[in-house]
């Protein structure tokens, strides 16, 4: 079997690595990939928006099916395009992808189907948004409506910060903004909750806790994610049932009633308040770095799972997991998420000896003349599985110290809430 993976981050490196554990797979292509995927698969220099070129390559190389990693091609309709050409592809259609493509689309579904979420207002003009802010209690959450790579969210403690957030979003910091979302701040703890679906059946696909803020102690600016651990410390049988019944099932039902179906990974970003789940937002793909944290725990052949989804046969597939605790620490370029330097050499990467249950997944890397260089804000993911989160974290940090990359920055406190228990 030949498989194509679309994307270029740590998530896609983790997906390629997991696919290649399957005895059914002969070859993997990654579009466009990074230095990590290139060491285990074949990178293909085609941009994510060049659907025609990807299609021609898929037909020419007799690729059996495609896995879409990132959100943008999904929101742009890559699945609809390949389905029209009768090419198997794993991911949700364009309409279903609006769950991530528009926060307001999701909020309207929440309103109609009584899905628990924060109270909110939608605004098209700066003046209306600022008037709402003046009459609101703080803290408030201000969000850009479209895709913002996990960064278009401001938690505002006062009017000055909130009005500045509104101004930045409307001035195009995260792309063209026609609408802005302002919602109440829910005081609780976040959890990433995943399911996988073939369009008619869905199965749980583990939990994780991301660490969005750039600085230790969950301080500083929002990022794409500084690290994660899995499973989440918050999950329990009672909470799991509430998430399925109150959030996941009504969402799948809403999409079916709209004339689409959800095939792919559905990632619910939740706020847990006194064991009650509230939906913060949906993503229509695996999280990053949650994917890198969760996939090493998967015992079942992932190709069997993807194949079952493509053939609408997930119901007969049993998904099993390893018991170990997984923790991921992300090594970033110094200065991220603000200004940072690219093309910085990463010298010792080849010299690190990984033991069983230790993984390095590349995110923002490239290779020139057999040397590795940084090529993005989040550069490498260090993932370790062990019997407890403390050991996993200590081993991940030890690997980062072995690398000794002078241009890197990482958080030393990933998993602090679960480790301090």
Domain ranges of the chain: 2-91, 119-184, 189-316, 325-419
| Cis amide linkage into residue 337, ω under 30° from 0 | yes
Assigned CATH class of 2-91: alpha beta
Task: Tell me how many degrees the CA angle 402-408-410 measures, rounded to the nearest 5.
Answer: 85
| Predicted model pTM | 0.92
Q: What is the rounded CA–CA span in Å between residue 74 and residue 269?
A: 18
Assigned CATH class of 189-316: alpha beta
Q: What is the pLDDT of residues 90-143, one digit of tens each?
A: 999 999 999 999 888 999 999 999 999 998 888 988 999 998 898 888 999 998
Q: Average pLDDT, stretch 344-362? A: 95
Instruction: State which fold the 119-184 domain adopts.
Output: Dna Ligase; domain 1 (3.30.1490)
Question: If pLDDT is split at 50, 70 and 90, which confidence band does 179 have?
Answer: confident
Residue 107: which of 245, 271, 251 has the closest Cα? 251
Query: Within 10 Å of residue 188's Cβ, how many Cβ atoms?
Result: 17
417 pLDDT exceeds 70? yes
User: Tokens 């500083």, residue?
Assistant: 220
Q: What is the rounded CA–CA span in Å between residue 231 and residue 218?
A: 19
| Alpha carbon distances (Å) from 282 to 98, 228, 248, 287 | 9, 18, 10, 10
400 pLDDT exceeds 70? yes
Q: What is the pLDDT of residue 151?
A: 58
b/e burial code for range 311-347 (CB count within 10 A of at least 16 → b): eeebeebebeeeebbbbbbbbbbeebbeebeeebebe
Backbone angles phi, psi at 192, to 5 degrees: -100, 125
Which residues, 6 or more positions from 227, have their beta carbon under 8 angstroms from its beta carbon?
210, 211, 289, 327, 328, 329, 330, 410, 411, 414, 415
Q: What is the pLDDT of residue 364?
A: 97
* Cα torsion 127, 134, 277, 204: sign: positive
* DSSP 3-state of 283: strand
- CATH code for residues 325-419: 3.90.600.10
Residue 147: which of 123, 169, 121 has the closest Cα? 169
Q: What is the rounded CA–CA span in Å between residue 237 and residue 3?
A: 36
């Amino acid at each position: 079997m030949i498989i194509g993976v679309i994307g270029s981050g740590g998530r896609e490196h983790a997906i390629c690595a997991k696919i290649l554990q399957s005895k059914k797979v002969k070859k993997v292509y990654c579009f466009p990939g990074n230095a990590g995927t290139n060491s285990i698969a074949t990178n293909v220099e085609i941009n994510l928006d060049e659907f025609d070129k990807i299609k021609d390559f898929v037909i020419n190389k007799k690729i059996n099916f495609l896995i879409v990693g990132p959100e943008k091609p999904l929101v742009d309709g890559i699945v609809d395009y390949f389905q029209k050409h009768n090419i198997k592809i794993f991911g949700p259609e364009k309409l279903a992808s609006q769950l991530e493509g528009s926060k307001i689309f999701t909020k309207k579904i929440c309103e109609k189907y009584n899905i628990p979420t924060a109270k909110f207002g939608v605004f098209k003009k700066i003046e209306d948004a600022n008037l709402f802010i003046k009459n609101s209690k703080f803290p408030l959450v201000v969000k850009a409506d479209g895709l913002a790579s996990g960064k278009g969210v401001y938690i505002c403690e006062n009017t000055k910060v909130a009005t500045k957030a509104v101004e930045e979003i409307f001035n195009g910091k995260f792309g063209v903004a026609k609408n802005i979302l302002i919602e109440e701040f829910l005081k609780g703890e976040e959890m990433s909750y995943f399911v996988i679906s073939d369009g008619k059946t869905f199965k749980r696909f583990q939990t994780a806790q991301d660490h969005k803020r750039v600085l230790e102690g969950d301080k500083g600016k929002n990022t794409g994610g500084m690290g994660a651990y899995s499973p989440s410390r918050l999950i329990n049988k009672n909470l799991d049932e509430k998430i399925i019944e109150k959030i996941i099932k009504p969402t799948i039902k809403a999409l079916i009633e709209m004339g689409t179906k959800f095939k792919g990974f559905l990632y619910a970003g939740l706020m847990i308040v006194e064991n009650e789940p509230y939906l913060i937002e949906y993503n229509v793909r695996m999280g990053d770095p949650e994917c890198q944290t969760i996939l090493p725990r998967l015992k079942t052949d992932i190709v069997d799972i993807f194949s079952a989804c493509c053939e609408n046969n997930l119901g007969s597939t049993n998904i099993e997991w390893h018991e170990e605790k997984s923790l991921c620490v992300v090594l970033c370029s110094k200065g991220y998420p603000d200004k940072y330097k690219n093309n910085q050499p990463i010298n010792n990467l080849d010299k690190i000896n990984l033991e069983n249950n230790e993984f390095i997944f590349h995110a923002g890397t490239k290779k020139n003349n057999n040397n590795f260089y940084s090529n993005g804000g989040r550069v490498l993911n260090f993932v370790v599985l062990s019997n407890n989160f403390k050991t996993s974290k200590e081993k991940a940090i030890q690997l980062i110290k072995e690398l000794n990359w002078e241009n890197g920055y990482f958080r030393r406190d990933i998993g602090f809430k679960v480790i301090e228990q």
